[in-house]
Structure formats: C-alpha cells, structure tokens
Amino acid sequence: MARGPVPKAEPSDFEKQRLANIAERDALLKKLTQEAASAGLYSASPKGNAPNGTKRSAKPKQPPAKRVKKEVDNTPRRTSSRIAGIQADSEVAQEKAEKEYQAARELDRQKRQRQTGDLSFNDGSSLIGTDVILKGVATPYQRTFDEDDVKATTDKDLKKLRERMSSLELWDAWDPSRIKITPERIYTMAFHPTTTKPIVFAADKLGNLGIVDASQTSPPSLKAENDEDDPEEDEADPEVTHIKPHTRTISSIHTHANKPETVYTAAYDSSIRATDLQKGVAVEVYGPEDKEEDEPISGLDMSASDPNVVYFTTLNGSFGRYDLRQSPSTVELYQLSEKKIGGFSLNPVAPHYVATASLDRFMRLWDLRKITKKLPALVGEHESRLSVSHAAFNTAGQVATTSYDDTIKIHSFGVGTRSGADALENMHTWKAGTTLDSDVMKPEVVVRHNNQTGRWVTILRPIWQRYPEDNIQKLVVGNMNRFVDIFSADGTQLAQLGGEGITAVPAVAVFHPNKDWVAAGTASGKLCLWM
C-alpha cells in the first residue's frame, strides 16, 4: 500500500515568535538604511572610498573612551542545551537546566549566609598589637584620679600635697567656653613670671598671640541680671588682647625674668620675635638671612643667667644658638637629628646641657661645652618605641618626656628617684665630653599615660614648675579625657584638674614658674585656668 506524503509538523510557539522577531528586525534595518541613504549619511560604496571614488579623508583620532568597570553579576545562569547536544524542546534539557539553576542558587545562598560561630583569622596573636588596642582610647570625663585616691593616701606629707593641688579651682569669672584666648587651635602657652597676678599667653596655628589678665572679673551688674534670666544673654566676654606677630604656627613662648616687659615667640615662619608688652611692637630678632629659606622653628629656650642668647630647634632636625646682639650670619647651627626635633629644653641651672626629643624616637642629652665635628658632645641617648614629643628639664636635673608609646618617662641619669638636687649634683661631676652608658640613660620612672592626640589635638607635653615655692618638683600634662594631670618627680599623681564647662581636651598645659597656677588651652582656642 502506497504511503501518502508526510504532513509537515506545525512550528512551535517559540519558533513562530523567533521568526517574527527576525522579520521585524530586517524590516526595521531596511527602513533605517533607506532613510540614511536619502539623507546622504550612508553609501554602499566600497569600504575606504567616498561615493565619487576619491579617498576618504582621515578622521581626527578620538581619545579612547573611558572604561567603566562593570559590576560582576553573580546571578546563576542556565547552560546551553545545543552545545551539550540535547534537543532544545525536550524534557531532558529542561530538567537538566532546572537542576543546574537550582544548584547555583543554593551555592550563592550559602556564600551569603551569616555565620554564627567563632571565626579565627590567625594563630592567636593580636592583629594590630595589644598595646594599641588597650591604650590610647579616650573616655571623656572619666577620671583616673579622684578624691578617693586622696583620702586613701597614708603618707601624711603626700596626702597634704595632694589635697593642696587637688583644691585648685577653675577660674569662675567666666565659663571656660567663653574664654576664647586665640582664634585658632592653641599650640603653646606660658605664664608671665610676675607673681602679683596671673597673666597668660597663648599662641595658635595661624601666628596669633592672645594675652589674658586673669585678675579681671565679670561686670557685677550684668552677672546679677543674667543669674535671673539667661546666663549667657548679653554677658560681657573677658578682655583679651590679640596680636599677630607671625604668619605661621607659633611653636614656643618664652619670657625672661631679667626682661619682664618682653615676650619671645618662635614660629614655623622661621623667625624669632621679641614683643615689647609696653610699646606693643614685635621685632624680629632672628631669621635666616635668605628670606626664601624655610627653617620652621619648633622650640625656644633661654638661659636664666643670660637674656641675650636664644637657643632654638627646627623641624629639620637642627639646633641653633644665637646672640641677639649680633647679626643672623653669626648663628651657630648643629644638625642633631635627621628628623624633626619636636621639643627641647636647657638645664635651668646648668644651661650647657641640652635635652632634645625627636621624631626618630630618641631623647638625647648634649653637652655644649665641647664641640667636635661640628656637633656638641653627645652625653647619651634613650630610644622609645615610638616618637618622643618633648624633653623638659627641671631645676633638679631631671628630664621628663612624653612619647606616642603612651608613657611619661622621667630620667634622673642613674641617681634613682630620690628628689632634691641628686641628679643635678651628679651632673656637676661630669667633665666636658662625658659619655653615659645606655643603662644610665634609661628612665627611673615610667608612667602609663594616653598620649594619642591624633590629628586635631595638639601634642601633649610635660611642663615642670620651674621654680616651685615648696621646692617640690611637679609637672603638668594634658589628659585626653578632658582633664589636666599633675605628677611629682617620682611619678606619683598629685591631682587631676577638671571642672564644669570644659568641653574639649585641654591639651596644652603649663605651670606658673612659682605659683600653683595651671593654665591649659584647647583646639578651639579656649582657656582653662586653675588657681
């Protein structure tokens, strides 16, 4: 029996749609080609030739388009059945694709799922150093020394000293938030040496110098009215004298007892100026002969016995000695460090000894009586784990430093922690050029102290009371918890000063040379004063 023709299979819906898409695309392409040709934008001429047979002019080369990084799409994708040799419309292909898609989704879900167990990233050691984690975290207004510590003191003399230092009260004529002594962040401060009344100097990062007479009182009439209404409404601010002796950050202020009418300032603009407080004139007493030379000055000091010679250090690591009565060309410069010297001081009683603190992590002791190979004799040095911010001498011959390793170190150079003039007497026995062993240069006292000021707070520096009336060596230093700490020469904490209205870290803290007056300044240019 003869078979008839096999009927042609009807195309699937998918195939019908595909063919319709192709036809629609071809029709659209043809239409666009015709419109472009009629507008003169398209020609069927061979590639590289213009319609009239002439060569096509070269187009200006365009810069390559900026590549935009595409986000990675992690969405699971189906695999090709055609490549796998499976008929597209078969149930086998659909089942295979569905299994692969579900497996990929499950894998992606597992990767994103939160892990609830403990995770171990190494062999158990600290990732960034235990000392970094446990130290240097400021807790505003949390005291580390308070009345309970004073009451618990069993030593009668120490308890009496702690009670006296802790009894210092914040100057209450104005709220500390209203005593703006400088326009910008305070970098350095000093008291005038007079003991008749507290006069405070403060200098900021833009070269401004502020002067406050803390014997002034707020107007009683205004104060009485404000107590009844708004305490800040129409209240008169304290009188502050502002001058601008420098164009850049003032790094140091010094007053000499033999010239009480003059205040010396050193700055990053490479100059030292003497400001006459009576005439109101600031005279440049030192600056490099070449005005284009950049030698930012980081510290300034003077011998108590000689008001005509200034000593200074620079951010470039040099140390200078200059006689104010001579020309700047006579300055003696010594390169003491490859990195910046952040702070230094002369021994107040034996000024030929100089202590420097530098970014290279060293506190060094120098003897100016012997100069060899264009350098003062190096008596000795001590290396800290991180940079040393400042080195301050007291009249007993001890040196206190602050460092970014979160310590206050007190060096007595081998005589122990006994107070008095032990360290100074020991120094008097040293001959010019004496060298000390590293063990002798180690600090006798190490006090743990948060010195992590960061970018916006001025570096913490220890400042001794230069000539204490009670003959007890004391130093003051800012506290990151918004207090000011007072320590004795053996590292014993004597007080922690604070008060209502202190809203920022009083980082720059100084003692009056004789009186138990403490001033501190903040990054907003505000003054805190305890008396």
Extended beta strands in 185-307, E state:
186-191, 199-204, 209-213, 240-243, 250-256, 259-267, 272-276, 281-286, 297-302
Residue-by-residue DSSP string for 39-78: TTS---SPTTB-TTSPBPPPPPPPPPPPPPPPPP-----P
Max Cα–Cα distance, the chain, nearest Å: 139
d(CA 246, CA 205): 10
**Residue 379, both tokens:** 């008596």
Q: What's the pLDDT at 290?
A: 86
In whole angstroms, give the CA distance from residue 430 to residue 424.
Answer: 10
Write the DSSP string, 418-481: --SSHHHHHHHTPPTT----HHHHS-SEEEE-----TTTSPPP--EE-SS-TT---EEEEEETT
| pLDDT for the residue 55 | 44
Residue with tokens 């170190």, as numbered in its chain: 409
Distance from chain centroid for Cα 325: 38
What pLDDT is recorded for position 31? Answer: 79
Residue labelled with tokens 């200078």: 320
CB 349 within 8 A of CB 303: no
Q: Say what the pLDDT of residue 75 is.
A: 55
Beta strands in 268-352 (DSSP E): 272-276, 281-286, 297-302, 309-314, 318-323, 332-335, 341-346
How many Å apart are CA 498 and CA 484, to the nearest integer? 7
Delimit the domains of the chain by residue range. 147-216+237-530
Task: Please give the span between the terminal C-alpha atoms of the chain, in angstroms, as a whole number.
Answer: 128
Residue pair 504/523 in contact by the 8 Å Cβ criterion: yes
Q: How far apart are CA 92 and CA 70, in angstroms?
A: 35
List, in order, residues 6 or more apart from 483 with CB less than 8 Å away. Answer: 143, 496, 497, 498, 506
Exposed, middle or buried by CB within 10 Å (0-12, 13-18, 19+), for 29? exposed
Q: What is the block-wise mean pLDDT of the chain (531 residues), using blocks of 10 residues?
A: 57 80 83 71 47 45 50 55 60 82 84 59 54 64 91 95 96 92 97 94 96 88 53 74 94 94 95 92 91 92 95 96 93 95 95 96 96 92 96 96 96 72 82 93 95 93 95 96 96 95 96 97 97 95
Task: Look at residues 146, 80, 180 and name the one whose alpha carbon lies nearest to residue 493.
Answer: 146
Amino acid letter for position 504? A
**Rounded Cα gap, residues 109 and 97, in angstroms:** 18
CA distance 123 to 314: 45
Closest CA to 275 of 186, 192, 216, 346: 192
**Helix (H) and strand (E) counts for the chain?**
9, 27
